[in-house]
Structure formats: C-alpha cells, structure tokens
Amino acid sequence: MGGVSLMPPIKKNVRSDSKKGTLVSDPFSYLEKDHKKIGSLLNKLTAKALKKEKRGELFLELQDELTLHAEMEEKIMYPILERLSRTHTIVQEAFEEHHVVKHLLNELTLMPFDTEEWMAKLTVLKENIEHHVEEEESDMFKKARTALSASEKEALAVDMENFLMEWVGV
C-alpha cells in the first residue's frame, strides 16, 4: 500500500446492479460502471469552471471511489485472473499501475488543493487512470470474459458482492 491510508467505508458507494436486487450481477459490467463514475468525477475535478473551494470535497469522493474499486480488484478479481495464462501479465502490470495511482493520490492528499501544482498532479493522475481503465476494459476484462466459465464468473460476482457487504459493514 506504500503508506496510503484507507478511507473509511461509506454506504453511498454501494448500489444495486441488477433487477434482482443483488449488488453485482456481472463482475466486469460492475467494474465498468465504476470506471464511468470515476471518469465523471475526474472530469468534474479538472473542469475549468470548478471553483477551487469545491476541489477538496470532490477529491475525497474520488478517493473513496478509487480505494474501494482498487481494493475489490486487488483482493477479489486480480488474484483469479493472475492465475490464468491469458491475463497473467496484464494483471501484474495492473497491480503496478494501481501502485502508481495510489502514490499520486497520497501525494495529492498532502498538498494544498488550491494550487497549480495540485492541478498538474491531478491531471497526471487522471491520465494514469484513463490509461489503466482502457487496458482493463479493452484487454484484461475482454480476455477474462471468455477465459472464465459461466460458473467461475458467477462465483466471482458472489465474492465481489460479499466484499462490498463487508466493506460497508453489513
């Protein structure tokens, strides 16, 4: 974790993902929805119109989302995909990309929000995340979707759901 402290869990991170009321129906679609949410927070944060005093609040929201997302991938999904030959190397790279993102996030929490330097670092964070998300969606998830059997995907969905429940302390 490189000294990055985990934010306390917040309930608003958890949402229903299917009509049946389960949180995770398809593991990859769930994470892709998360990516959209993270992307939209990053767009809001880097928008020129955003007032500097709003940065802190939005940044904390981003940090919460990223922490939960990365933990769920690292603890639940990546270990399974790392064992498959088709996704082994991509997963190892993804762990390293997470490491860089966490480092940047940590640095951002230690700097004043209202400076040009903060915004420059945030822009680099955004670029790193966009690159990582692109690799997950167009390479890792794509390969994993065909490499895993239906029952393996189902088991993964259950594990992700349990992880979420534990995260929010249900």
Q: Give me the least distance between CB of 136 and Fe ion, in Å please.
A: 5
Helix (H, G, I), strand (E, B) or coil at 27: helix
Report how far residue 160's alpha carbon sits from residue 77's, in angstroms, rounded to the nearest whole number. Answer: 8
Report how far residue 15's alpha carbon sits from residue 94's, in angstroms, rounded to the nearest whole number. Answer: 25
For residue 130, the number of C-alpha atoms closer than 13 Å in the C-beta half-sphere is 11
Q: Give me the least distance between CB of 145 and Fe ion, in Å please.
A: 14
Q: Give me the least distance between CB of 52 and Fe ion, in Å please.
A: 29
Report how far residue 65's alpha carbon sits from residue 9's, in angstroms, rounded to the nearest whole number. Answer: 10
Please give the backbone phi and psi of residue 24, each rounded to the nearest 5 degrees, phi first: -125, 115
Choice from 17, 61, 73, 161 touching Fe ion (CB under 5 A): 73
Residue nearer to Fe ion on the CB measure, 76 or 122:
76
Any contact of residue 65 with Fe ion (CB under 5 A)?
no
Residue nearer to Fe ion on the CB measure, 17 or 55:
17
Residue nearer to Fe ion on the CB measure, 55 or 81:
81
Binding track, positions 94-113, relative to Fe ion; x by CB under 5 A: --------------------
> How far is CA 50 from each of CA 5, 61, 143, rounded to the nearest angstrom?
27, 15, 38
- The residue whose two tokens read 């959209």 is 36
Q: Give me the least distance between CB of 151 and Fe ion, in Å please.
A: 23
| Binding to Fe ion in span 33-62, by CB under 5 A | none
Residues forming the site for Fe ion (CB under 5 A):
31, 73, 136
